[in-house]
Chain A
C-alpha cells in the first residue's frame, strides 16, 4: 500500500512538474520525464495513462484533442489551477521524504 501510494505520488509529481512547463501529449510527457531524469525514470504506456486519467478526473490536468507538429491527432494535457496548487505540497512532501531517507539510510547527497 505504502509502496503503491509512494510510487503514485512520485509519478504525479513528475507529470505535474513536466506539464507546469508546457502542455504535452502522453508520449511527449513520458519522453520528457525520461530525458529530464537522464533515463532514470521511465513511464510505460501502461503506467502513464491510468495516472493521467485519474489526474484528469481530479481536475488537476485537462486533455484536449488537437493536431501535433507532425499533423497527427493527439490528446494534449494541460495543467489546471487545481493541479498547479498541488505542486507545492507534493514537492514539499517529496523533499521531506527524501531528506528523511537520506538520514535513515546514511546516504550522502552530492
Chain B
C-alpha cells in the first residue's frame, strides 16, 4: 500500500503553519486518503485503480494548501482583532481621553526643568490612573481567551503605539534636520521615551500584572 503520509508530505511540505499544526493537518489528510483507498479496495477495485481514484480526491494541491491556510488564518485574524486590537484600542482611547480631560480641567504635569526639551515630565494623576487602563486592556484580552504576550500587549497598547510614533518622528527628525544638533534630538528623544513610554508603560503593566495575579488567585480558590 502507498505511504499516504509521505504522499501528502510531498505535496503539502510548505504549509506555513506552526509545525505541530501542520503535522496534524497532513496526518489527517493522509488518514482520509488511506480510508478512501481501503474502502475502494474493499469494493474490489485493483490497487492501481484504487490509488488513481484516491489521488483524484485532490485536483490541485496548491489550491488545497491555499484553502486550508485561508480557513486557518480566518481564525487567526479574528482572534488578533478580539484579543489584541479591540482591547488595545479601548485602552489607548480611554487613557488618551482621560489625559485630555485632565488638560481641560487644568491639571498640569510636574516639569522638573521647564524649557528644557529633555526634562522629566511627571503627570501624576494620569500616571496613577494607568494601572486601571492596563488592567482593563488585559481583562478584555483575557475575556477573548488570549494568552501570554497578547494579554500584556493589550494592556500596554498605548505605549506600544507611542513607541512606534516616537520612532517615526525621530527618524524623520534625523533626516530633515541634518544640520541640527544630533545631541539635542537624541536627548529630547530619550526624554520622550522616559516620559511617554517607560513611565506610562510601567504603570500600565502594573495594572496588567495585578489583574493577572487576581485572576490566578481567583482560579486557585475555585
Contacts and interface: CB of A to CB of B under 8 A. Distances in A.
A108 interface: no
B31 A53 contact: no
Contacts of B58: 44-46
A74 B34 CA distance: 11
A50 B28 contact: no
A57 B75 contact: yes
Given A45-B58, A49-B68, A50-B68, A57 B74 contact: yes
Contact of A54 (B31, B36, B74): B74
Contacts of B186: none
Nearest to B56: A44
Given A27-B36, A51-B71, A54-B71, A45 B31 contact: no
Given A25-B31, A51-B71, A31 B63 contact: no
Contacts of B31: 25-27, 72-75
A67 B39 CA distance: 18
B72 interface: yes
A57 B58 CA distance: 23
Contact of B29 (A30, A49, A65): A49
Contact of B32 (A45, A50, A54): A45
B161 to A, nearest CB: 28
Interface of B is mostly: helix
Given A27-B32, A73-B27, A57 B57 contact: no
A50 B64 contact: yes
Interface in A53-98: 53-54, 57-58, 63, 65, 72-75
B67 A46 contact: yes
A30 B27 CA distance: 17
Interface string B108-144: 0000000000000000000000000000000000000
B63 A46 contact: yes
Interface string B15-32: 000000000110111011
A9 to B, nearest CB: 15
Interface in A12-40: 25-28, 30-31
A30 B50 CA distance: 17
B3 to A, nearest CB: 14
Contacts of A65: 24
Contacts of B74: 54, 57
15 contacts: A26-B28, A26-B32, A27-B31, A27-B32, A28-B35, A44-B58, A45-B33, A45-B58, A46-B63, A46-B64, A53-B25, A54-B71, A54-B74, A72-B34, A74-B28
